[in-house]
Amino acid sequence: MNDSITPEATTTAPQAARLNEPVPAFTARSTQGDINFPGDFAGHWVVFFSHPADFTPVCTSEFMTFASMEEDFARYNTKLLGLSIDSLYGHIAWLRLLQEKMEYRGWKNVEVRFPLIEDIKMDIARAYGMIQPGEADTQAVRAVFIVDPKGILRTMLYYPLSTGRNIPEILRIIKALQVADEFSVATPADWVPGERVIVPTAGSCGVAKERMEGAEEGVECIDWFYCTKELTAETIEAAIHTDPADVLGR
Ligand code: BEZ
């Protein structure tokens, strides 16, 4: 990233973003200088999200929340990156106003320090499927793309214009993805760190039998295909916690 002004956004990848594949690459202007995505973010997880428009109330509440939780994401090696089909100067004016005037859930004087991309030509929004014409054909919907340190797309979420996102849920997903990678387990509905995790389903009749006979220490099965084990919050923290200063550089 640098602070110089360069031409509008370009993307080399017209294909749609797809799970478990490299994300479409692009360069763009942002409120924190030029962005080369995903290259500039290599080694970090990224929450790349679109919003419909600057100077709108739901988006304002979301940005106040994302910005207030930036350090919580950084504790899990995660950076934030926003986009809308507005101009860079519109972004700058809106972010200044958020800090000067807005208050949400007790947060005020909130500075948005993560980059907000301009995408007036909608090239990036189209490449990521952020335009859902049934919802709006001139604005991006509230899309969320969670990208891993190797630039692979790991999660996609789509919300309509009227519904603000649950930002702690996005952080919960990042923890679940990192736990899945680190411990080769899956996580059940509504899981939060400290709750039991799901061990991979038995791939043979022999393993299924052993599991039901209690042969694997610490593994408990309700039936052969649904087996869980304990994974403490402390173990998880030791494995995935990051110093926010290493991520944010401040
Ligand atoms: C909002 O952020 O408030 C909003 C944006 C576009 C359409 C509807 C609501």
What confidence tier does 46 reach under pLDDT thresholds 50, 70, 90? very high
205 is an active site residue: no
Average pLDDT over residues 7-27: 78
pLDDT in tens, 209-220: 999 999 899 999
Percent of the chain with pLDDT over 90: 93
DSSP at 188: -
Pocket test for ligand 1, best of 49, 132, 162 (most atoms within 8 A of CB): 162
What confidence tier does 11 reach under pLDDT thresholds 50, 70, 90? low
The whole-angstrom distance between residue 221's C-alpha and the CA centroid of its chain comes to: 32
DSSP at 40: G
Task: Find the angle CA(78)-CA(248)-CA(231) to the nearest 5 degrees.
Answer: 40
Report pLDDT for 1. Answer: 55
DSSP track, 235-248? HHHHHH---HHHHH
Distance, in Å, from the CA atom of 79 to the CA atom of 20, rounded to the nearest integer, reads 19
What confidence tier does 7 reach under pLDDT thresholds 50, 70, 90? very low
Other C-beta atoms closer than 10 Å to the C-beta of 144 total: 18
- From 59, 205, 221, 227, active-site residue: 59
pLDDT over 90 (residue 159): yes
What predicted TM-score, i.e. pTM, was given to this entire model? 0.94
Ligand 1 first shell, C-beta below 6 A: 52-53, 56-59, 161-162
Cα(165) to ligand 1 centroid in Å equals: 12
pLDDT in tens, 166-201: 999 999 999 999 999 999 999 999 999 999 999 999
The answer to whether 92 and 190 are in contact (CB under 8 A) is: no
